[in-house]
Structure 1
């Protein structure tokens, strides 16, 4: 049995571990012969197309590459080679640094005109990238920014209601007057008196800057608010436009923050609008919408097919194919003006499983139902043989209600609106879902928490400050694309091309604290665990579809707990509904992706990162920048906490993609602890009565060492890595040293922290304070990284003590602490802490203990649990579902993290 850590044993083991880490770093940086690894990648820094093949539509991509410690200086140059040895132009910039200043992550950009058909590439250090055939050119003045990709030229304005003045391809203007639009009404749709006032807001630019500039990639960031003639300005927005050398497309990232009154401000529509100049004859103006799969709706503004008189086979075929009609039979040509021209078109995805297309000649006339389907791709097109614009909304049906409008296509200037919230659907209703049920005191609220697990408090269930980010893409085309090409464009919207570092490269670099290992199916037991990990992810993917975890404010999240009586997840029961990152669901998915490289896992985790970082966090207002605990409404819980807004959930995606918006979210958390002065997490508990309260503008706040400090340490760590900020490093060191100096280390529970320095006051008593949640929200992951990066022996000793003793027998806890820890929870999930201690101390006995704890299954999945579901059909349910009532998301996340990290830290302890 492993006993407590003596100082001598700790120092000796730490020295051994440090030497081993140092040796590993040195060996990884030495030149070694290439040898095959899993998935056929030789040694080196490899990346690949996530979908294992070159995309059909060339688009520019940006991705991150990790590097072992001390291997490359910031001055290192990099080039890109495909598997045939061909060198490709690539742009590189630093993304993060190791403590010694060497590169930890680099970001890279690849232009869309890649000539290689390879699915994998090697990023080669020490070589200069070849010059691109075409480079981006930027010109700026006080009024505008001009971006020339070599194929298109976009002019972005710095003030006013128009963001994009024009986009030209060659000498032809294909898009103009790009702007944002919001439709607001002052009452919900069911107002009894029927009197609803409506207003239209357009964007008002406050700033437009070039956020990133290079030969292959440029990013323009536009910020402002939506404004009305009555003087009201609300809904802050950030619009990012991405350009790549040689590209004829623009990636658009749209973010808005809700800052209205949810009882009076009902958003009826929010979107992006632009004009498309049209010069082709009406019968050569083509409208396209891509439906599900390769389904395509293709018509013309003025149709030539189905007429009583035949315009000619070639004329009909040309219009159907999207080519210019060169001749029309005389008896039809002279009557063209008698054929109705349809100027207005709408694609509406009102729900996840139904869309409709309709058209009309003009306002004031009836709509015709044109087509319907299940799940539209979100891609449309307007134009003709002389040029046009294809436009798409990513996650179109998943983020319903969504809509695409084309208006006035029979004039010389069509208007296109990409509605992120469809105006033809019910208006957005962000009000809380109940009236408070009389819970007007903390005592009543705690009673309610005991019944429905909902932590309610008046005024806290507000959407003030929640945000939403959406992605769109615009293609400026010389002519109407063929049918197959349109379907390929739609696929580029549905599943955008992603370049990603391969798992072997990420693992060898030693990033993320070594918290994952590559899959190993070499023994029966290991193969079984890998199979169960796969099953669990695929089950949640299936549940998302069967239970409809979709919608503008919901897509990306999963549910918390299941209701086997109703055969559904508890979508309407207090704190059992939306998960909101509870117990590190995000980290589970990202570590699972890092070890597998699966495209479906990446896209699931990406959607979760977008959602949990935006919707579950207050970005302005009294609760900013804290997140909201799990609830029926994503923002409904009165527990506003760092554990939900934590940067730890976002940093994986940031380093894999260099995404600027997620970079904003990470930086937003740097001073988050200041909000805890006024919004005290434990304010309702009896133990808080009589405790000294911090002043809202003071320099101190009380933080728990687990969910609070682990979260803020993750933000400081990320900023230090990104910028080499000494103040951030100093805060980390101060907090680590003062945690290590506490009389009970991590078992002290928390303390009063100086917000400027990061140092905690040293507790004056030796009381033990331990919570099962402390290490359930990213604390193990951030401590693994901090111990890897910063030499603070007492902190390391305190963390190892916590890791060893949490699951230890009562007599061992008593011997080390003077008393046992009592009844704790989440023992199975905490087995990964034991495994981490085993790794650092090189202790095989601890490694075996970790797996024993895991397989005992306390507060987790039982050791004999069969990973399977059963089919439930009508009339027990409305629609058939696959049910695994034994699964809860808390247990799924903690079980998965335990498997992944026990395999990483204590593989030698797994028998069989």
Structure 2
């Protein structure tokens, strides 16, 4: 179907001729020296466009142009009314000249916050009630000015107590794990219960506005066995009544025997008030709230009176017992007290609330709904605890339990894997289908696109990070307040900067053209970018890409016969970052500033950095290629675990867990000695000791991203030298990047020289972040020979066979993904200031070879009975959308004016 959004071929030829004959072109600068660099003042705003109803603290990152700020700069923050806010700041990254590149900032909790901010250099004001961290021999005490939290250094209890106004609100916080020995529930099924066992505690930040405490350990059984490593981070903000918990587990068991039945976090909550003054709350959906008391006083045969009923209904203290009607007071013990409540979300579209009096007695159904907000409360009019799990229904099966609320110590459990659900089954999904040789495995790849190898489809080392919050409240919250807390848990307040500012700062690939004039053609591209994102955002919901191990990812390819994404067909199922889906989303956020884009990119970063990567075991720290199961593919590669996919979220939020994930990749080259990515198609392992066989595309691009990021974060000279050595020895190869790969010395990063007649090019080399990291390296590092080698690759990949032969001695043969590589041609055009290359880049983009020639916004709805549920279809593939989107944004940014 033709689409008027695309330029016609005639128009393209005309544009090409015009551009080629222009006497001079105004080229955008990539070096940060065009005079438009930002000053030491940055305008900031809330991601969601307005200040949050509840703010328990916020952290964000800000980029700075090269040379603008010295490394010891200090900062202050003003609101839009000119008010000064207490601020904590720290560096995240530096430019090679030592100036600040990224800084992180945090503000505490406030009753009201401005809509916008101005970040400037200058000393910050002092917080009114500074956060403090005190280390004791066996514990750490963090005081926010509102709550005090005692964190253990050893033992099974992570958080000994949390108090507000010197009154304990929660205590004995620990991790809980239940396992079963058989996934099939046949024969004898035995269960074992484990609790957290602390190995190490680290105070990562000490205030005065923000504190972070990291706890590491394993889940332990009283029989002596320990497994399932965890990393817990506790976040505290000045003036806040809340604690943010980042919960990470790394699977290190036998998936056939170590079957997780329940996984959660548990606290005890002291309760001393009368049973009829103990309140239970669950936030449901659409701001609905389930609100009851442990012992109800409404609906009785005898009426206690308006005042008593109204107090209990609204969470207030009832009048004194002596004022109760005698018909009620003398019969209170005959009213059942319901001590146990559970909210269970078994799927993305249903939840139920049940309750019972106590263990040993039957449950009764209390309420149901579709998508619960995942927040609950238990307490009295004198105070209690609200608690919740972020992305509750999206990460099903989840469960919130309140138990023993009729005793002096209730228990609350936030179940990340609900024990009421089926047990977690991580076993591989087929028996190998007889693929016991590489030849057979290549045949399997030909039919289902699945790269199978025995023993490689293991979940060993995969991880999952979840986010939880605790709120210590001075009284039972109103339903409106509970909804505000639930909203704060589900969408934590985030501060950010304008879409124009990041381009001016020159990060993520240099200073792009931010002054181009709008035009109808650019508007068509902008609309198409929005369409593709909106389509995938809706596909997530229509096809229910949810679940504990799935949420955040999208599917790779579509089956139009079944009107279904190919969820069960080998390598066509989960995308696992194929062709830079993560980078597409993050670039589109930076391009658009849309909050919904940020949230989707955030969920993808959490997923692909944890679930799609092996964090321990023989495959660590490599990622797994796209598959029916995220960990199922035998292609364990750096192109999936690449730091390039994580850097955006880290620098925008200063998230410590993502910082850990990036650091994991620093020595990934050592794993490639044993796990050779191309072993099935002829790539040989390095023979010399201390060397690894490394491709210059997906392998080195990922290593370069890891090393460059660590260098700019820490200034580590050893890492810097490895990076620079690798860049220099790539450039020294007979054909630069077209050499394809070489053996690299692990200790130095130097590549051995390859024969002069070796020429190799792969369509995958530059589409997993290589284009993006090389743009940053060229901008940040003054190494002309490397720039020359990279620009040569960018210019020649899509060149004619004659041009390739003239430069290399032979043509590169039939290559793929020409549209995606148009952004490489554009990069060469601006580095060489070549109008002919600029015209060629736009032509490659609009010709759409191996992409979209005529991108359309047409969709069709397929309705039952042809399908189970109505679905919306468009002519897309995830590979093509990601590459089209990245190329569209790059070309508009780099060559937007030349388009006209």
1:612 aligns with 2:608: yes
CA–CA separation in structure 2 for the residues paired with 1:836 and 1:520: 17
Report the more deviating stretch, 55-64 or 576-585. 55-64
1:240 aligns with 2:233: yes
Deviation at residue 502 of structure 1 after TM alignment: 2.2
Q: Deviations over 1:22-60 (max 9, x none)?
A: 532x552569xxxxxxxxxxxx41221111111111211
Deviation at residue 625 of structure 1 after TM alignment: 0.3
Does the CA contact (< 8 Å) of 2:513 and 2:895 recur in 1? Answer: no
Closer, same or farther in 2 for the Cα pair 1:49/1:664, shift >3 Å?
same
Alignment of 1:408-807 (within 5 A): 408-514=404-510, 522-685=518-681, 687-688=682-683, 691=684, 693-694=686-687, 698-807=689-798
Q: Deviations over 1:158-211 (max 9, x none)?
A: 0000000000001210100000000000001x3332x10000000100111211
Alignment of 1:3-42 (within 5 A): 21=31, 23-24=33-34, 27-28=36-37
Closer, same or farther in 2 for the Cα pair 1:29/1:253, shift >3 Å?
closer
Secondary structure of residue in 2 paired with 1:461: coil
Deviation at residue 86 of structure 1 after TM alignment: 1.6
Q: Deviations over 1:214-251 (max 9, x none)?
A: 20000010000000011110000001000001111000
Closer, same or farther in 2 for the Cα pair 1:470/1:19, shift >3 Å?
closer
1:293 aligns with 2:286: yes
| Aligned with 1:883 (options 873, 877, 881) | 873
Q: Deviations over 1:818-861 (max 9, x none)?
A: 22211110000000001111121222221111110000010001
Does the CA contact (< 8 Å) of 1:78 and 1:123 recur in 2? Answer: yes
Q: Which residue of 1 aligns with 2:211?
A: 218
Secondary structure of residue in 1 paired with 2:679: coil
1:284 aligns with 2:281: no
Deviation at residue 84 of structure 1 after TM alignment: 2.0
Does the CA contact (< 8 Å) of 1:299 and 1:320 recur in 2? Answer: yes
1:869 aligns with 2:859: yes
| Aligned with 1:399 (options 395, 398, 403) | 395
CA–CA separation in structure 1 for the residues paired with 2:158 and 2:760: 54
Alignment of 1:303-342 (within 5 A): 303-326=296-319, 327-342=323-338
| Aligned with 1:256 (options 249, 253, 261) | 249
Does the CA contact (< 8 Å) of 1:454 and 1:631 recur in 2? Answer: yes
Does the CA contact (< 8 Å) of 2:685 and 2:692 recur in 1? Answer: no
Query: Mind listing any 5+ residue stretches in structure 2 that lack a counterpart?
Result: 1-11, 14-23
Does the CA contact (< 8 Å) of 1:847 and 1:906 recur in 2? Answer: yes
Q: Deviations over 1:726-769 (max 9, x none)?
A: 11111111011000000011000011111111110111232210
Q: Deviations over 1:501-520 (max 9, x none)?
A: 22222121111113866697
Q: Which residue of 2 aligns with 1:6?
A: none
CA–CA separation in structure 2 for the residues paired with 1:340 and 1:314: 21
Report the more deviating stretch, 248-257 or 486-495. 486-495
Deviation at residue 495 of structure 1 after TM alignment: 1.3
CA–CA separation in structure 2 for the residues paired with 1:734 and 1:336: 80
Does the CA contact (< 8 Å) of 2:614 and 2:621 recur in 1? Answer: yes
**TM-score, structure 2 normalization:** 0.95
Does the CA contact (< 8 Å) of 1:677 and 1:694 recur in 2? Answer: no
CA–CA separation in structure 2 for the residues paired with 1:514 and 1:266: 48
Does the CA contact (< 8 Å) of 2:469 and 2:489 recur in 1? Answer: yes
Q: Which residue of 2 aligns with 1:59?
A: 56
Closer, same or farther in 2 for the Cα pair 1:361/1:114, shift >3 Å?
closer
Q: Which residue of 1 aligns with 2:890?
A: 901
Secondary structure of residue in 2 paired with 1:621: coil
Does the CA contact (< 8 Å) of 1:559 and 1:579 recur in 2? Answer: yes
| Aligned with 1:177 (options 172, 175, 184) | 172
Secondary structure of residue in 2 paired with 1:684: helix
CA–CA separation in structure 1 for the residues paired with 2:281 and 2:853: 53
Secondary structure of residue in 2 paired with 1:468: strand
Closer, same or farther in 2 for the Cα pair 1:364/1:20, shift >3 Å?
closer
Deviation at residue 136 of structure 1 after TM alignment: 0.9
Q: Deviations over 1:467-487 (max 9, x none)?
A: 000000000011101111111
Does the CA contact (< 8 Å) of 1:515 and 1:905 recur in 2? Answer: no
1:95 aligns with 2:92: yes
CA–CA separation in structure 2 for the residues paired with 1:20 and 1:860: 27
Deviation at residue 17 of structure 1 after TM alignment: 8.8
Closer, same or farther in 2 for the Cα pair 1:380/1:887, shift >3 Å?
same
Secondary structure of residue in 2 paired with 1:891: helix
Alignment of 1:837-852 (within 5 A): 837-852=828-843
Does the CA contact (< 8 Å) of 1:17 and 1:841 recur in 2? Answer: no
Closer, same or farther in 2 for the Cα pair 1:539/1:517, shift >3 Å?
farther
| Aligned with 2:185 (options 182, 187, 191) | 191
Does the CA contact (< 8 Å) of 1:519 and 1:530 recur in 2? Answer: no
Between the two structures, name the one with larger relative contact order (CA 8 Å, sep ≥ 6).
Answer: 2
RMSD over aligned CA atoms reads 1.7
| Aligned with 2:102 (options 101, 105, 114) | 105
CA–CA separation in structure 2 for the residues paired with 1:764 and 1:832: 30
Alignment of 1:820-839 (within 5 A): 820-839=811-830
Secondary structure of residue in 1 paired with 2:634: coil
Q: Deviations over 1:318-341 (max 9, x none)?
A: 111000011432211111110000
CA–CA separation in structure 2 for the residues paired with 1:139 and 1:879: 56
Q: Which residue of 1 aligns with 2:16?
A: none
Deviation at residue 579 of structure 1 after TM alignment: 0.2
Q: Deviations over 1:666-693 (max 9, x none)?
A: 00000001000000011111x34xx464
**TM-score, structure 1 normalization:** 0.94
Q: Which residue of 2 aligns with 1:9?
A: none
Q: Which residue of 1 aligns with 2:807?
A: 816
Q: Which residue of 2 aligns with 1:36?
A: none
Secondary structure of residue in 1 paired with 2:616: coil
- How many residues get paired? 875
| Aligned with 1:84 (options 46, 71, 81) | 81
Closer, same or farther in 2 for the Cα pair 1:907/1:282, shift >3 Å?
same
Does the CA contact (< 8 Å) of 1:97 and 1:105 recur in 2? Answer: yes
Deviation at residue 499 of structure 1 after TM alignment: 1.1
Report the more deviating stretch, 69-78 or 219-228. 69-78
